[in-house]
Amino acid sequence: MEDHALEGGTSPLDIAVVVAENWLLLILVPLLAGVIVFGVISATTPNVYETEAILAIDEREAALVQTSPVLDKAMAGSPSFAGLPGTSSGARGESLARHLTVAKEATSDWYRLRLRGDNATHLKEVLYSIIQALISSSVPSPVEIARINQEIEQTAASLEGLERALRNVDRILASKDATVDHAGGEFAASVVSLISGIERRRSKLFDLELAKQGSVRSEDVIQPPTQSRMSNSRSSLLPALAVMLGVGLFLLILVFIRDGLRRASNDPEQVTKVNRIRRAFWLRLLASK
């Protein structure tokens, strides 16, 4: 049975022989086809560049990035949009929003801002303007700041009262008043509650001061906009690789067909079939030695 496989079938050695005899054809032609396809795509497709930044913001702030107030403010503060004729700010804002993507990082709570365009020189500056517009847009309005200041005053007054009460407790403990012993656990619980209230108000004051600065600040920019880099080279490479694989597979099939016809031509019983194949598919040149 093994002898029959070696005589009538195709062994791995036969495959190796066919590939070895045609290795130059199987390598150069697919490579040349891939280079041609890559060159055509690169020449006919405009270059697309991208820059990106990472911000430590929440979901609400990330949703604001592509809104009209932020983008309009970014375009107003960006030299790249100064003096552009014939296009309304609304149309430019819509175009900018289409080229801007905001996505949450898979491994953290940060958000990645990616901007694409055909101008590598201005791309980084535009993304920087968008980030600055987001920071300034997060600053409260004058009315809101007035409300925050009022709340700060109230919280500070409450904190001062609690701290005064805590100082009184310190004086009582320092004097070793006998009434403290009679109060027992209730006195200790009151002291703990007093200290907890002081810490809460201090934390609230800190949050209120931050709120006056805005929900997005410069320190929230984890990674500033990167240098613009070409982003469509990979999209040109994938079709070229696909063409290389396709042409290589097609040539591999052809060389095996040619080798099979060559073998069949040496078998008197198969000559008639080979001639019929030649006439049907015009493979006379393919089967020639």
- Do residues 126 and 80 lie in contact, with contact meaning Cβ atoms separated by under 8 Å? yes
Whether 231 and 48 have beta carbons less than 8 Å apart is answered as yes
Strand partners, 49: 117, 230
- Cα distances from 174 to residues 169, 177, 180, 181, in angstroms, run 9, 8, 11, 13
**pLDDT (tens place) for every residue of the chain, 289 residues total:** 444 444 455 667 777 777 787 788 888 888 998 888 888 877 777 778 889 999 999 898 899 898 888 888 888 877 776 544 444 556 777 888 888 999 999 888 899 999 988 777 888 899 999 999 999 888 887 888 888 889 989 989 988 988 888 888 777 777 765 455 545 567 677 778 888 888 998 988 888 887 787 788 889 999 999 987 776 556 667 888 888 999 989 888 888 877 777 777 776 766 677 667 666 666 444 444 4
* The pLDDT of residue 184: 58
SS (H, E, C) 122-140: HHHHHHHHHHHHHHHHCCC
Q: Is the pTM of this model over 0.85?
A: no
What tokens were used for 82? 């100064």
Q: Tell me the C-alpha to C-alpha distance, in Å, between residue 147 and each of 156, 157, 159, 171, 202.
A: 14, 16, 18, 37, 18
